[in-house]
Amino acid sequence: MRKIVIFVACLAMLFTFIPVTGLADYPVRFPDVPSSHWAFEQIAELHARNVIQGYEDGYFRPNRTVTRAEWAKIMVGAADIPANDRTVHFSDTANHWGLPYINAARVYLTTYANNTFRPNIAAVREDVIVSMARLLRCENCIEEEYNLSRLEKFTDNDSISDGLKKYVAVAIERGLVDGFPDNTIRGQATLTRAEAAVLLCRAVQKGACPHTKGKDSTENSGVVTNTGSAPEITTTSLPGGTVGVVYNQSLTAKSDSPITWNVSGNLPPGLTRNGAVISGTPTTVGTYSFTISATNASGNSTKALTIVINQSNVIDQPEQPPNTSTTLSGAIKFEDDEVRHTYTAPTTGRYRFDLTTQNNLEFIFDIIDPYGRRIAYDVSSVSVDLEKGVAYRVVVFQNWRNHIGNFTINIITPTMPYNTPISGTTVSGTIQFEDDEVRHTYTAPTTGKYRFDLTTQNNLEFIFDIIDPYGRRIAYDVSAVSVDLERGVTYRVVVFQNWRNHIGNYTINIITP
């Protein structure tokens, strides 16, 4: 097999064609990636090198999830790996747009049972980390370098598949990735396009790519740029606010490690600081001066700022209180109005959000997680995975001007939490809506061949996957299957629709050895 130059060398060459300079040298190419965006420099740099592109409408959509095929294309482009092979190596890539990129990346990416690649599912962090470790030629040194104790600092290290932990350990040792500030690694979490750009730049190591700009320590994508210096606060001023109007502004800084933010002095009444975000609803007119400080592992820096609060001359639209019911309601009262709800998920699982309006008004909404990432973007209905006890923002706004009126969002909650253990030899569940899925876990009581048979009411077409602890699908899109399981090993059983609009109950019967 053809030998390729290691990933870091390829990327380093890629970034030496034009010197990496300051923020002003990158023009704004995408309306949704302004120069203030936390990943602006990385996205601009990779776009300038023709590694990543926007969409036909001119937008980049930095918060959209990256699929496995998209990551293959980005990785192959960045490493300058030829992508000319159109041989069909996987049963599900024959007519896929990404076939040559998938072929070029297939020795680096994880694959699935039954000779499948699953190009359209979201890439997860452990897949991306493993591919980078393999591109670094870690295969030859993996047995000497990996030390699983490096993963012990992560409270969710079990989110990394057992068979892939050694690659993640080496990637951490090489400085390719780091965990999140809450001591998690989030191996099964998906990546946004912005996060993928920053992670790709991170692989170039010190100085070979623009540094990650001021993103709060609670949302730094698990990527840490290594400069070895105190934070450089890049926020030079803050815009004014208006009494009764929601205020939300982020503090930014360049840093080589997670930042702790503090404020001394007088914030405007009604505003508070949470991480790097100053937000709230101002209550009092005035000019308020204060000092912000940013501290990382290497030092501290400060800056004096001022916020001017003006008298309100617009219709007051306060943010709605937290809601754990199955309905959110409100009204869009004027052009450019928006209504913000918070929704706290009562259990972990897949939820359905459907927005309806009077007189067919065109409203849309975003769903934003606590890290500021949009897990749903410009939608009127969507199915999303939420975590128990986590508060999400649901922001409703107009899709067309002059559409003013009331709306209701109906929420369908899971019938059971994700990864509910299967007790005994039978399990039942309900598919409630399009794109719903139910996840069970099954621990094999003995080693041998097992039979799984799925039945439904009214001949509904449901199918399921069985996934081992290494993330490999040992059964894929089946309604009945015989598989070999190992005693004491816990497998995931994921049930979903084979056809749209097939909604109802199912039962899986398990025959044990």
How far apart CA 349 and CA 215 sit, in angstroms, is 28
Residue 374: pLDDT over 50: yes
Handedness of CA 487, 491, 497, 502 (dihedral sign): positive
- Residue 159, phi then psi, degrees to nearest 5: -75, -10
Give the confidence band of 258 by pLDDT, cuts at 50, 70, 90: low
Instruction: Band the pLDDT of 217: cuts 50, 70, 90.
Output: very low
Residues 144-176 have pLDDT tens digits of 456 788 888 888 888 888 888 888 888 887 777
For residues 356 and 323, the answer to whether their CB atoms sit within 8 Å is: no
Quote the pLDDT of residue 322: 37
Domains 322-412 and 420-511 share a fold: yes
CATH number for the segment(s) 322-412: 2.60.120.380
**What's the mean pLDDT in 311-336?**
61
Residue 335 has pLDDT above 80, yes or no: no
Decide the pairing of beta strands 420-421 and 271-274: unpaired
% of the chain at pLDDT higher than 90: 14
SS3 77: helix
CB atoms within 10 A of CB 217: 19
The residues spanned by each domain of the chain are 7-219, 232-310, 322-412, 420-511
CATH code of 420-511, in short, is 2.60.120.380
At 367 the pLDDT is 93
Q: Which CATH number does 232-310 carry?
A: 2.60.40.10
Whether the CB-CB separation of 357 and 405 falls below 8 Å is answered with: yes
Does the pLDDT at position 202 exceed 80?
no
Residue 65 has pLDDT above 50, yes or no: yes
- pLDDT of the residue at 255: 63
Mean pLDDT taken over the chain: 78
Instruction: Tell me the backbone φ, ψ of residue 157, rounded to 5 degrees.
Output: -60, -15
Residue 146 confidence (pLDDT):
66
The number of beta carbons lying within 10 Å of the beta carbon of residue 149 is 8
Looking at per-residue confidence, does 477 or 320 come out higher?
477
User: Does the structure show a pLDDT above 70 at 382?
Assistant: yes
Rounded Cα–Cα distance for residues 234 and 217 (Å):
15
Interatomic CA distance for residues 101 and 344, integer angstroms: 40
pLDDT score for 220 = 35
Q: Is the pLDDT of residue 369 over 80?
A: yes
Residue 282: C-alpha distances to residues 251, 289, 308 (Å): 18, 14, 10
Tens of pLDDT, residues 272-308: 887 778 888 888 888 999 999 888 766 788 899 999 9
pLDDT digit string, tens, across residues 6-34: 444 444 333 333 333 344 455 667 888 88
